[in-house]
Amino acid sequence: MANGLPNPLLTAGAARSLVDSVDAFLFDCDGVIWKGDQLIEGVPETLDLLRKMGKKLVFVTNNSRKSRRQYSKKFRALGLEVTEEEIFTSSFAAAMFLKLNNFPPEKKVYVVGEDGILEELRLAGFECLGGPEDGKKNILLEANFYFEHDKSVGAVIVGLDQYFNYYKMQYASLCIRENPGCLFIATNRDPTGHMTSAQEWPGAGTMVAAVSCSVQKEPIVVGKPSSFLMDFLLKSFNLETSRMCMVGDRLDTDILFGQNTGCKTLLVLSGVTTLSELQDASNTIHPDLYTNSIYDLVGLLQQ
Amino acid sequence: MANGLPNPLLTAGAARSLVDSVDAFLFDCDGVIWKGDQLIEGVPETLDLLRKMGKKLVFVTNNSRKSRRQYSKKFRALGLEVTEEEIFTSSFAAAMFLKLNNFPPEKKVYVVGEDGILEELRLAGFECLGGPEDGKKNILLEANFYFEHDKSVGAVIVGLDQYFNYYKMQYASLCIRENPGCLFIATNRDPTGHMTSAQEWPGAGTMVAAVSCSVQKEPIVVGKPSSFLMDFLLKSFNLETSRMCMVGDRLDTDILFGQNTGCKTLLVLSGVTTLSELQDASNTIHPDLYTNSIYDLVGLLQQ
């Protein structure tokens, strides 16, 4: 808490000392870099300035709908030069979690989620089933219908899934309940997200809540605010968390993630959190600094 | 706790004194009367015996997939003579909740659920939308897609829904979040249920958990273990809860419901709860008595 106030606004002085005290900026994407498919104003200038100042930039998103490769295409389509190696998605984190935990290659992974998870799992060498394809499948909730599932599934990954249905919920539940040792992994628990520019939509947290209720078990979370993503990130880069700043629009994922892992934290109001939510007495998560959008850095650093 | 033990088994003496001390038996259906579409052994004889002893029988189910009319057909198909008036479903409870709370007739109800809820709402004179029909609807989670919802929806009811999808989750979320005063009602929160004879399936609790996560709000629950159903039941019959016995197979709904409302409670092991779950140190819900199935009453009362 820079100046003793619970939520200090980013000023020119605070911006300067923030930039001086960190080597890397970790950016959440949705609500910070873009909203849906729309770039937020001033983002290219801000990223350019920070790169020119020698800062390392990392993009950390809980959105599991795309793989790192697909995200790097999205960045390029929006006119931003960002490499795959600079992108950490919760879909990638889920695949890396299995890899680091020596998930047996003969076991399969059942996916409640979209293509991003499937692609990252395949790139990591895992066999998976489920995904968008199972969104077309129906069940017959009738008398003697028996739902079969693959006994060789050793992990279920649940992420955001616009094709979520009862079939997948039962498939995931049976694997978790009946396959001995089957892992239950959540990409993240965000209740909502700006999946389109205009509106909030149910987030991965809703699918996770449904499956978790069905199996009466809590998942392992690999995305923000879990520290797994950070541990993996630190292994990939030569960085210290005390010299990093996490920039995000969500208190309960981005800012909490930054705090859980020992980063400095900057909340931007260009996404889901409003100033009144930040300042509400019920809020217990306080960033080190807040500002309207990352573009403010450009103006403040040039004063 | 009849004999000082936390979970006393039903004996001949206990059965006799139970029957002597109550005027009415409330039966859960799934796991007590039937499993899926299969009648549990000895049920007709047991119900006959209790009716002959002058006991009032009431059937209380959290399953909202059918209306009271549809349930009475199911009872008849299984060879049991049970009238609509003896049946209390969570679908009926949801409609009665709106009626007793003077829900404005010009407002609409959005339903995440199946035909039972739609039928009970229409019988009670309410206009509703959603239901199985919306299970066929897709959304386009793309750039500028804008999801419209009906601003005159004044209540969302969430129950078991084998046609649950992302479309309905967003529709329900927008109504609850954006329509002023919109009620969020759950038929029940059962995590699972024997929707078929052979297996457990995700229950209404999973759909409720998903919507509740999306809107970050808790629902009003009208089914078991909420006391709303009991208050309504007491208004319908001239009964005292201290002279009722709730018979069910679930600790967290049936037995808790009985205890919340001051009934005697009898757990049967013919459904989802096993003896080891009942006796597990982590279990905090203890019925007055337990037995294998309601058929045991016949043998014990004739000793």
Q: Do residues B231 and B205 share a domain?
A: no
Residue A267 maps to a domain? yes
Task: Say yes or no: A234 and A256 in one domain.
Answer: yes
The nearest alpha carbon in chain B to A161 belongs to B166
- Cβ distance A196 to B38 less than 8 Å, yes or no, reads no
More confident residue, B143 or B300: B300
* Record: contact A210-B209, CB cut-off 8 A: yes
* Residues A114 and A157 grouped into a single domain: yes
The verdict on residue B195 lying in a domain is yes
The answer to whether residue A85 sits within a structural domain is: no
With respect to residue B100, please indicate whether it lies within any of the assigned structural domains.
Answer: yes
Structural domain includes residue B278: yes
Is B214 an 8 Å CB contact of chain A?
yes
CB B46 within 8 A of CB B268: no
Write the ipTM. Answer: 0.91
Task: Report the catalytic residues of B.
Answer: 28, 30
Q: Is B227 on the interface with A (CB under 8 A)?
A: no
pLDDT tens by residue, A73-110: 999 999 999 999 999 999 999 999 999 999 998 999 99
Residue A76 domain-assigned? no
Rounded-to-integer distance, Cα A265 and Cα A248, Å: 8
Spatial distance between the Cα atoms of B206 and B192, rounded to a whole number of angstroms: 8
* Domain housing A105: 92-221
* Shared-domain flag, residues B57 and B103: no
B84 within a domain of the structure (yes/no): no
- Whether residue A3 has pLDDT greater than 80: no
Answer yes or no: do A147 and A163 share one domain: yes
Count CB pairs under 8 A between chains A and B.
Answer: 127
Range list of H helices, B124-227: 166-178, 204-215
Contact B37 A165 (CB under 8 A): no
The confidence score (pLDDT) of residue B287 equals 97
Statement to judge: residues A96 and A216 lie in one domain:
yes
Helix (H) or strand (E) segment spanning residue A214: helix A204-215
Residue of A nearest to B203 (CA): A214
Enzyme catalytic residues of A: 28, 30
Residue with tokens 């080597």, as numbered in its chain: A23
pLDDT in tens, A220-268: 999 999 989 888 888 888 889 999 999 999 999 999 999 999 999 999 9
A202 at B interface, C-beta within 8 A = yes
Domain count, chain B: 2
Q: Which chain B residues are Cβ-neighbours of A211 within 8 angstroms?
A: 206
Assess whether B100 and B217 both reside in one domain.
yes
Of the three residues B206, B221, B236, the one that is the final residue of a domain is B221
Facing B145 at nearest CB: one of A142, A196, A207:
A196
Whether residue B210 lies within 8 A of chain A, CB to CB, comes out as yes
> Which residue of chain A comes nearest to B36, CA vs CA?
A143
How is residue A290 written in tokens? 């807040």
Looking at the structure, do residues B265 and B288 belong to the same domain, yes or no? Answer: yes
Pairing label, strands A38-39, A34-35: antiparallel
Same domain, B165 and B97: yes
Mark whether B104 and B156 lie in a shared domain.
yes
Q: For A106-140, what is each residue's pLDDT tens digit?
A: 999 999 999 999 999 999 999 999 999 999 998 88
Q: Are residues A217 and A119 in the same domain?
A: yes
The partner residues of A246 in beta bridges, in order of sequence, read: A26, A265
Residue A65's alpha-carbon distances to A110, A220, B64, in angstroms, are 15, 19, 33
CA A41 – CA A32 distance, rounded (Å): 10
Identify the domain boundary among A221, A240, A268: A221
Which of the four pLDDT bands, split at 50, 70 and 90, describes residue A182?
A: very high
pLDDT in the model for residue A238 = 82
Q: Are residues B241 and B213 in the same domain?
A: no
Give A240-289 as a DSSP string.
-GGGEEEEES-IIIIIHHHHHTT-EEEEESSSS--HHHHHSTT-----SE
> What three-state secondary structure class fits B231?
helix
pLDDT exceeding 70 applies to what percent of chain A? 98
B4 is a domain residue? no
CATH of the domain at B193: 3.40.50.1000
- For the segment A276-292, what is each residue's pLDDT rounded down to a tens digit? 999 999 999 999 999 99
Residue A4 has pLDDT above 70, yes or no: no
Q: Say what the pLDDT of residue B239 is.
A: 86
Last residue of a domain, one of B165, B195, B221: B221
Q: Which residues contact B53 (CB under 8 A, 6 or more apart)?
A: B19
CB A288 within 8 A of CB A1: yes
Instruction: Assign B1 a pLDDT band (cuts: 50, 70, 90).
Output: very low
DSSP letters, A151-186, are TTEEEEEE---TT--HHHHHHHHHHHHHSTT-EEEE
